[in-house]
Amino acid sequence: MRKGYLYIAIAVVMFTSFEVVLKFIAQQINPVQLTLCRFSIGFVFLLPVALHNLKKRGKQLDGKSMAYFALLGFVGIALCMPILQLAVYYTGSSVSALMFSCNPVFVAFLAFFLLKEPIKPRHIAALTLEVLGTVVIISPWNSRLNMTGVCLALLSTLLFSLYGVMGKRKVIEFGGAVVTCFSFLFGGLIVLAFIVLTHIPSAAQILRDLGLNGFANIPIVSGYTLQNLPYVLFVSVGVAGIGFCAYFLAMEYQPASVVSLVYFFKPALSPFLAWMIHGEIISPNMLLGIVLIVVGSLCSIIPGIMEAKQG
């Protein structure tokens, strides 16, 4: 049980630092190109660990399991990530971050219906406080929201929640590293196929006509330099490899609804990292939202730790 919280902490550190590190290279590398790089390097990094775990468990991957991992990669990487990028395009990163931070809301109910995990009163209290906190941070009433972007952000959040809940089914059988590794493999292959498709002149023109110039003729290798390589490796090996692996490893010890609270720490901790590294200002409403999110997370985690000690 304690290992579960350790893995959650690792995932929090990795996922929280993603946008802060990404800001250093945001204008240098196409986001879809970086998605391919992140999950490809993450796959290579995790492959030896995954193969070792398969051997340790005495398991082999059959066609049915590989098809399931392909579905995971399609839902959680190839489909979710581009839709999230579109949401950012229409609404901006702050509103998209708000929607994506509501991941535990979707996970709690998907886990209830798909995994039969119970929804406890502390989960409801945590979700209520954390949703309120993220709303206070973004203050959507102070801006006019693009409903297309909002719907896309909600769809990407739902898809990633489904990815996590579906992934837990195979985590029990194969372990977190195996699930992460092979979903990365298929997700990366599908993203690569999409990139190749954007180089077809007719497809590229359609994307330009839609105002999505960043999705036309997406490069594969250009843009990488020795200067941005450390940041690329961090978001690839650290965030994609270690972060996602820790996320699924935590599911071996904790319910999916608890593990998903990783995404409520992001809007609470990222502003402090952005303040320390980039000098970004923390507004009063942001500080209030951070307090609500932390209190909400503690409402869920502390009772879980107490139950583990009693057990």
pLDDT digits (tens, 9 = 90+) for 256-294: 667 777 776 776 677 777 777 767 677 787 788 778 877
- Going by pLDDT thresholds of 50, 70 and 90, the confidence category of residue 36 is very high
**Contact (Cβ atoms closer than 8 angstroms) between residue 247 and residue 117:** no
The whole-number pLDDT of residue 109 equals 78
In terms of average pLDDT, the best of 169-173, 185-189, 268-272, 278-282 is 185-189
Please report the sign of the dihedral spanned by the C-alpha atoms of residue 132, residue 137, residue 143, residue 147: negative
Q: Which of 97-101, 132-136, 181-185, 198-202 has the least mean pLDDT?
A: 97-101
| Exposed / middle / buried, residue 220 (Cβ in 10 Å: 0-12, 13-18, 19+) | middle
Sign of CA dihedral 116, 120, 125, 126: negative
Task: State yes or no: pLDDT of 300 exceeds 70.
Answer: no
Find the farthest-apart pair of alpha carbons in the chain and give their distance in angstroms, rounded.
Answer: 63
In sequence order, the 6+-apart residues with CB closer than 8 A to the CB of 143 are 95
3-class DSSP state of 143: coil
Helices (H), 253-283: 256-259, 262-278
**pTM over cut 0.75:** yes
Q: pLDDT tens across 45-81, in order?
A: 889 989 988 998 898 899 999 999 999 999 999 998 8
DSSP 215: G
> In this structure, what are the phi and psi dihedrals at residue 58, rounded to the nearest 5 degrees?
70, 35
For the chain, which residues make up each domain, given as ranges? 2-310
